[in-house]
Amino acid sequence: MAVKTQTVKTQTVKTQELKLDIERIGTVSAILMQPDNARACYVLAHGAGADMRHAFMDKVAAGLADRGIASLRFNFPYMENGKGRPDQPAVAHATIRAAVEEAARLCPGLKLIAGGKSFGGRMTSQAQSKAPLPGVKGLAFLGFPLHADKKPSTERAEHLGGVAIPMLFLQGTRDGLADLGYLKPVIETLGPKARLHEVAGGDHSFAVLRKSGRSNEEALAEVLDTLTAWIDEIA
């Protein structure tokens, strides 16, 4: 297990390279970023097309660390083993449960939040709907993939009714995988446990157009500020 300490803007952060054991499935890589005086830990799952070391994941983890939130990133087995097709849900759910257990072990006393980018967030909510993730106080989605690209539907959200803990949906208004005309009614049916934050002009990864008058970094800062405030509220 490799451990290094670095300064991320205002925080001293300990970063650990880990191996995560998944019962009857195998081992995957993981990274824990834990700032001094962390207030919570976000178990952060990657999207379908890029692993835990993707630039987006790096920026989210570093930005949260600067805001006093630890994060545990991890690979799903298909990504760890270089396979193109995402794992079956049962494998993804087991991986998420192993990551949550490891986060609880490595960050005793910290409130746990789970979720992640696109596919990773959806697999997390599916796992939670089947059986509560131990100790997890809320789910945060960095671009919930409600449907295939530009093919609006709501089938992928049917399981969300089985989630009893708070949920935060961070969605770009240009997200081709989450038509807000379909997502908003879904969130309304979930009641006060679910909250939507719209990132004006953001795509599925919150990138904005130049004509918007702001940068991608500013849009991501909005996402991270909103996420941090929500974590503090529920934790």
State pTM to two decimals: 0.94
Q: Rounded to 5, what percent of the chain is helix, strand, coil? A: 40, 30, 35
Report the distance separating Cα 83 and Cα 137, nearest Å. 32
pLDDT greater than 70 at residue 1: no
pLDDT of residue 5: 66
Going from N- to C-terminal start, the domains of the chain cover 2-234
Radius of gyration (Cα) for the chain, nearest Å? 17
Distances, alpha carbon 106 to alpha carbons 68, 72, 135, 144, 218, in Å? 16, 10, 13, 27, 31
pLDDT greater than 80 at residue 209: yes
pLDDT of residue 3: 64
CATH number of 2-234: 3.40.50.1820
pLDDT digits (tens, 9 = 90+) for 54-105: 999 999 999 999 999 999 999 999 999 999 899 999 999 999 999 999 999 9
Report the distance separating Cα 128 and Cα 202, nearest Å. 27
Q: Residue holding tokens 């890589």?
A: 29
Q: Which two tokens stand for residue 29?
A: 């890589």
Beta bridge partner(s), residue 16:
3, 32
| Cβ neighbours of residue 137 closer than 8 Å, sequence gap 6 or more | 111, 112, 113, 165, 166, 234, 235
Calculate the CA 202 to chain-centre distance.
17
Amino acid in position 116: G
Determine contact, residues 129/162, Cβ cutoff 8 Å: yes
pLDDT of residue 184: 98
Q: Residue holding tokens 């987006």?
A: 56
Determine contact, residues 87/115, Cβ cutoff 8 Å: no
Helix axes 216-234, 55-66, angle to 10 degrees: 50
pLDDT greater than 80 at residue 7: no
Q: Hey, CA dihedral for 224, 142, 204, 163, is it positive or negative?
A: negative
Looking at residues 11-35, what average pLDDT do you find?
A: 96
Determine contact, residues 201/213, Cβ cutoff 8 Å: no
